[in-house]
Amino acid sequence: MVVERSLCKSMQWHTHEPELLLTVLFLQVLNLSLLISQFLVVLFQCQPMHYYWDHWWMDTYDKNGDVAMKGGKCIDQMKFYLISPGLAVLTDILILLVPAAMVWNLRMPRRKKIAVWCVLSLGWM
């Protein structure tokens, strides 16, 4: 997330078109909101907080060893672990498209534009 922030800040300094500037600012806000939301989800994923570590002692069990009464609750961590990287990849792709728009507006032949964009895209791999 910090790398995306530095890339957006660099693109913000190099763009002079209002549409691209608004796009870069939107991507910065999106990136920051994802960072904050993921931090808060990780911090408050279980209620009460210590249930994440102490669930073995907080739950009550019946004679068969099954959980009879839970001492707290947690989010579905598998969903979070699948959605979180998906959103990170989406923001990476969106940030990758901004230099493409910047190159496309340059005054040079189309072949050169495509070549420059391919060179810039190599950093994404």
Q: Please report the pLDDT score of residue 124 as a whole number.
A: 65
pLDDT > 70: percent of the chain: 96
- Residue 36 clears pLDDT 90, i.e. is over it: yes
- Residue 120 clears pLDDT 90, i.e. is over it: no
CA dihedral 42, 48, 53, 57 (to 10 degrees): -160
Does 38 map to a domain? yes
- Residue 20 clears pLDDT 70, i.e. is over it: yes
pTM value surpassing 0.75: no
Does 60 map to a domain? no
Does 50 map to a domain? no
Does 61 map to a domain? no
Does 54 map to a domain? no
How many structural domains compose the chain?
1
Domain span at residue 116?
2-45+76-124
Q: Please report the pLDDT score of residue 87 as a whole number.
A: 93
Q: Please report the pLDDT score of residue 109 as a whole number.
A: 92
- The H-assigned helical ranges of 1-125 are 2-14, 18-43, 51-58, 77-104, 110-121
Does 104 map to a domain? yes
- Residue 33 clears pLDDT 90, i.e. is over it: yes
Does 65 map to a domain? no
Mean pLDDT of the chain: 84
39-98: pLDDT as tens digits: 999 999 988 888 887 777 777 877 787 777 778 888 888 999 999 999 999 998 888 888
Question: CB under 8 Å to 24, separation ≥6 — which residues?
Answer: 8, 11, 12, 15, 98
Does 56 map to a domain? no
